[in-house]
Amino acid sequence: MRFDVAREVFVCVASTDVPPGDPSQGAPALRFFAGSAADLPRLADHDAPTLAAMRARLERGDRWLVGEAGGLIVTYTFLSIAHDFDYPALPGCRFALRDDVAYGYGAWTPPSLRGRGYRRRAFAEELRWLRQIDKKWEASVFIAPQLEPARRSLSTVGIAIEPSWRVTYGRDRQAAFERLGPADDDRCVPITSYNE
């Protein structure tokens, strides 16, 4: 297979010091809870490999934040408190995290329910969860086309997304890291062959 398109992602951080208030902005009520393997069968539109991957995440200790409305799961995300993470969609995109940083990933809302603010509300809730376990920051990865819309949406509820790194996967099949924040920012640091 020939490689034709470079991939680009942004590794970002958000403070878990969430502004008080309800980010629902008049949307229907959501109930948030810690999902478990027992909740996986409720995701009827997820295929068996996806559910198996989700089960593996839970087995390794990642936390599953679930948002429910009217008895249906309408959004979710996973949170890892490990000291590093890999972003498998971009080979070589691997980061070490400071002790006060967690990694949020795997966010999902059904396509038919997007645009209702569920993800924005879930993001605020996951930051609150992380603050309760003494994490000051959440690291997340955004593909390039999603970054600015996410920043605009989250800013409406007082959440700032700070891009720390731009990571590209070039025609040479190597990940390239460009620091976007201050040189002494050690919240997320790329793990490469020269600094492992």
pLDDT digits (tens, 9 = 90+) for 35-70: 999 999 999 899 999 999 999 999 999 999 999 999
b/e code 144-174 from CB counts within 10 Å (16+ = b) = eeebeebbebbeebebebbebbbbbbeeeee
Q: Could you tell me where the beta strands, DSSP code E, fall in the chain?
A: 7-15, 31-34, 63-69, 72-80, 84-86, 94-97, 101-108, 137-143, 162-169, 175-179, 188-190
Rounded Cα distance, 59 and 154, in Å: 30
| Residue 19: band (very low, low, confident or very high) from pLDDT cuts 50, 70, 90 | confident
- Look at residue 25 in the predicted model and tell me its pLDDT: 62
24: Cβ contacts below 8 Å, ≥ 6 apart: 30, 117, 121
Determine the residue type at 126.
Answer: E
- Look at residue 1 in the predicted model and tell me its pLDDT: 33
Mean pLDDT of 65-80: 95
Q: What are the structural domains, with CATH classification, of the chain?
A: 7-190 (3.40.630.30)
* The model's pTM: 0.90
- Residue 29 pLDDT more than 90? no
- Site of tokens 């996973």: 78
